[in-house]
Amino acid sequence: MGVHYKSRAARDHMKDVLDAAEAGGTAIITRERPVAAVDAGVLAELLAAQVPFEVLSSVTDDQVAFWLSDGLVHGVGSNLEEATDDFLDALLTYATSWFEDLRSAPNHAHNKLLVLRIALHAHDRDALERAVFGD
């Protein structure tokens, strides 16, 4: 099922923390408030169910564009590859800005799960592209 440690004990039992998460359980680590270590695949599934990427697109003679249905992020290019790259860059830029400045702004605070979903794949561009556009 999982393990529960205070922060100091979690450092001393990092193997147990990771083993619990990798086995599909949770590791709860408490400092000022509890945080959870879970398998990234499980988290990705949960976030995908809660905040699907609702990407819209437009193609004209000289431009391809993608944007989230709420208009929050967009990307454009002269072809599909450029538009995809621009859109993924825009998602990453928004997530970075959210963590740095926007998280407490009333008109952005509600995007927490979207930003977590982007951040989960930020280290792997191909994984982010698959998460956004599918296989």
How many structural domains is the chain composed of? 2
Regarding whether 63 and 97 lie in a shared domain, the answer is yes
What is the Cα–Cα distance from 107 to 93, expressed in whole angstroms? Answer: 17
pLDDT at 104 over 80: yes
What sign has the CA pseudo-torsion 103, 46, 39, 31?
positive
Regarding whether 62 and 21 lie in a shared domain, the answer is no
Regarding whether 105 and 68 lie in a shared domain, the answer is yes
**Cβ-based neighbours of 44, under 8 Å, separated by 6 or more:** 117, 120, 121, 131
Q: Which is nearest to 70 in space by CA: 103, 38, 107?
A: 107
Pairing of strands 74-77, 34-37: unpaired
Q: What pLDDT does 2 receive?
A: 83
Domain range for 52 is: 42-133
Regarding whether 34 and 46 lie in a shared domain, the answer is no
Regarding whether 54 and 9 lie in a shared domain, the answer is no
Report the pLDDT averaged over residues 6-26: 93
User: What CATH number did the domain enclosing 106 receive?
Assistant: 3.30.160.620
pLDDT band at 135, cuts 50/70/90?
confident
Task: Work out the angle between the directed axes of helices 125-133 and 80-97 (0-180°, nearest 10).
Answer: 100
Is-contact 87 66, C-beta < 8 A? Answer: yes
Q: Is the pTM of this model over 0.85?
A: yes
pLDDT band at 93, cuts 50/70/90?
very high
What is the Cα–Cα distance from 74 to 130, expressed in whole angstroms? Answer: 17
DSSP 11-28: HHTHHHHHHHHHTT-EEE
Regarding whether 61 and 32 lie in a shared domain, the answer is no
Regarding whether 46 and 107 lie in a shared domain, the answer is yes
pLDDT band at 123, cuts 50/70/90?
very high
Q: What pLDDT does 71 receive?
A: 87
pLDDT band at 15, cuts 50/70/90?
very high
What is the Cα–Cα distance from 82 to 79, expressed in whole angstroms? Answer: 5
Regarding whether 112 and 57 lie in a shared domain, the answer is yes
Report the pLDDT averaged over residues 17-40: 93
